[in-house]
Amino acid sequence: MQTLHQSPTDPAFVQNPYPFYETARATGPFFHWQDYGLTCTPSAAAVNAILRDRRFGREAPPECAPAIPDHLRPFYAVEAHSMLELEPPRHTRLRALVLRAFTSRRIAALAPEIAQLSHDLIDALPQGDFDLLPHFAQKLPVIIIARLLGVPESMADDLLRWSNAMVGMYMAGRTRDMEDRATAATLDFTSFLRGYIDARRSDPRDDLITHLIAAEMEGDRLTTDELITTCILLLNAGHEATVHTLGNGVKTLLESKTPATALAPDHVEATVEEILRYDPALHLFTRWCYEETDVMGQTFQRGDQVGLLLAAANRDPGVWEKPARFMPDRVAKPNATFGAGLHFCVGAPLARLELQIALPILFARLPDLHLAEKPRYADVYHFHGLSALRLRRA
């Protein structure tokens, strides 16, 4: 296994990580990423196999669990109840209870609201050049998730601020200041949700929080701490990726001069899948090994960690023809963007729906939209999203 060096905060990598992924792919299915001290894979076959293999998981084996410094205890106290970070049987219980409330029917019913909100946000765009991210890409998913949960829409700015601070915990080059801001956001977010959940218990409404409170399986329900963490997870994971994907998607559609027909009702699903494949929001996800396991010739021992390069897997030439090209008419195949197996993203149907509705409305309302300046990606790896997307109407 070859060792490669690549700083995830290097400006050239931040703007385009894909050449490094191809360099890594040429070395074989696995390589050692020296900067992370981590065995990683850019291979679609290996990523898919590990995501589905129960001998790998998100929860650290007890003997490998890192010590938690005092200033981060509030953050990790919330993470301790996150189904994203747990394995069966706790994961099975939490996910089943959440899915009883977060139903496909409830998500599908949001379609008219997503459409109307898209129009409202476009109506409110400033005249002249504007940055799509704060005016559209950030607002749409955070307002929708706020409405879905049942929290006041007026809280959207606070929810966005808390979420951004907490997500900073997963970025390369994390600093003590970022950690302190994540902890403060966790405390504020938790305090707000605890009071709001208490209010919903005595005054139930037709919202996701009320349905999560009522969700029951064999007499078991979510505890208040589990409810709080689930709401935070749904907001953080659900909106952060969609913000980046909306921005990356609009950038890609404009740079590739994709025709409007790609967003027509009979083509938009395929176009969105290609956006998700081509330039996804989440590039690196890790798994712990629970017992000695061989994957494509690489042996892992209990306690080993492996990095799954989802974005690299999405450009594996063994799966996709001309993978570095954006082809909205490509025959869709399963990609790694939302994961696979037990931890397949609960919010994937909502993210897809938001993209399938918002993008056609944006380009129908602003058909002459074009880039006002070259977009640049933010230094937020292992996420991959723009720092700004300045656009101009013709």
How many domains does the structure of the chain reveal? 1
H or E stretch including 159? helix 156-167
| pTM for the structure as a whole | 0.94
**Are the CB atoms for 147 and 350 separated by under 8 Å?**
no
Q: Tokens 């998730």 correspond to what residue?
A: 145
Half-sphere exposure in the Cβ direction for 34 (13 Å, CA): 6
**Are the CB atoms for 165 and 185 separated by under 8 Å?**
yes
Q: 34: which 2 tokens?
A: 């020296």
H or E stretch including 198? helix 176-202
Question: Would you state the pLDDT for residue 238?
Answer: 67
3-state class percentages of the chain: helix first, strand second, coil last, to nearest 5: 55, 10, 35
The answer for residues whose C-beta is within 8 angstroms of residue 208's C-beta and 6 or more apart is: 101, 102, 106, 148, 149, 150, 234
The answer for residues whose C-beta is within 8 angstroms of residue 222's C-beta and 6 or more apart is: 94, 97, 98, 212, 213, 215, 230
Q: Tokens 């994203």 correspond to what residue?
A: 84
In whole angstroms, what is the distance from residue 191 CA to residue 187 CA? 6
Question: Would you state the pLDDT for residue 173?
Answer: 87
Question: Would you state the pLDDT for residue 239?
Answer: 73
The answer for residues whose C-beta is within 8 angstroms of residue 322's C-beta and 6 or more apart is: none
Segments in the chain below pLDDT 70: 238
**Are the CB atoms for 330 and 221 separated by under 8 Å?**
no
Question: Would you state the pLDDT for residue 241?
Answer: 87
The answer for residues whose C-beta is within 8 angstroms of residue 352's C-beta and 6 or more apart is: 269, 272, 276
Domain that holds residue 359: 2-392
Question: Would you state the pLDDT for residue 234?
Answer: 87
Q: Where are the beta strands (DSSP E) in 197-291?
A: 284-289
Q: Which residues pair with 309 in a beta bridge?
A: 284
Question: Would you state the pLDDT for residue 332?
Answer: 83
CATH number (domain holding residue 204):
1.10.630.10
